[in-house]
Amino acid sequence: MRLSGLPVTIVQACLRDGSGGSPTAVLDDAPLTDAERCRVPALLGTSHAVFVSADDSRGDGAPVSLRFFTATGELPACGHGTVAALAFLAARAEDAKYRATLHTSERVFEGWAVRDGDLIDAAFDVGTVALREPTDAECGLVLPALGLAAEDVASGLRVASVGRERLLIPVPTRSALHALSPDFESLRAACDRFGFLGCYVYSAPTAGGRIAARMFAPSIGVPEDIANANSTACLAAHLADQGITEIAVDMGDGLGNPATVAAAAQTGPSGRQIQLGGTAALRPDQPVYVSVG
């Protein structure tokens, strides 16, 4: 056993009205193998774990390194994991406002959080979102695995990426979204063939930008994600072309953990930028302890 009694904080990321959210394991980095890192979410029953390397003594704005793992391996990015990490760091900061420069394997970006009692509002700059049209082959394998025919899908199918591609699939109504029952074995095979992280299915936006969505990602060991923030950022970039610049996306209802992710599109000197955020809270009586060896 390499490490016994490793302290882990469970953060409920992307709460809706102060409750629900996606339970995410967050911990200070330790000398673990990648296989041992994968055991952390598996042992704690969370979809993801975030490993944080930070020098708190350097104060506000100090660089922070993040690594994201599911039970099947490392991810280059994780939106709700970033929200959880910012909440974890803000909870132990001296000031109610916290800011950091975040480093992942693929990019460097700014993140910030504001603490208000037990709740922490966290947000960060997503960076560039790449969008393209899907191919007929991609749609021909993925849609049937979701239980969808071409006529069930609204216009606007897109492949989007903030590090790894995923398919954005619009359906007309929330009831159509909630009725989905994917064949996960077939969906995983289809996503593996095209290198997709997963499939993000969403309902038509209301006039105020409210949307419901479900994220299916069996290829990374997460059949359905409670909250998938990076896919929400991808959707925000896509909808910005239609003049919708702010969205709030409800997820997790069918899993018993209602969650909401917010995203806004802005145009700056370097082009379109997406800001992504959510409200988080640390579970009471933290940390918990886990042995991964």
Given this model, what pLDDT does residue 270 score? 65
Hey, is 63 helix, strand or coil? strand
Give this prediction's pTM. Answer: 0.91
Mean pLDDT of 114-139: 94
Query: pLDDT for 32-66, tens place per residue?
Result: 999 999 999 999 999 999 999 987 555 555 689 99
User: Which of 23-37, 58-72, 104-118, 242-256 is least confident?
Assistant: 58-72
Q: Greater confidence, 158 or 268? A: 158
| pLDDT > 90: percent of the chain | 82
Bridge partners of 155, per DSSP, are none
What stretch of H or E contains 145? Answer: helix 136-146
185 contact partners, CB below 8 Å, separation of at least 6: 218
Largest CA distance in the chain: 57
End-to-end CA distance of the chain: 4
In 3D, which of 67, 62, 37, 36 has the Cα closest to residue 51?
A: 67
Query: pLDDT for 61-106, tens place per residue?
Result: 568 999 999 999 999 889 999 999 999 999 999 899 999 999 998 8
Write down all domains in the chain, each with its CATH number in brackets: 6-125+279-290 (3.10.310.10), 130-276 (3.10.310.10)
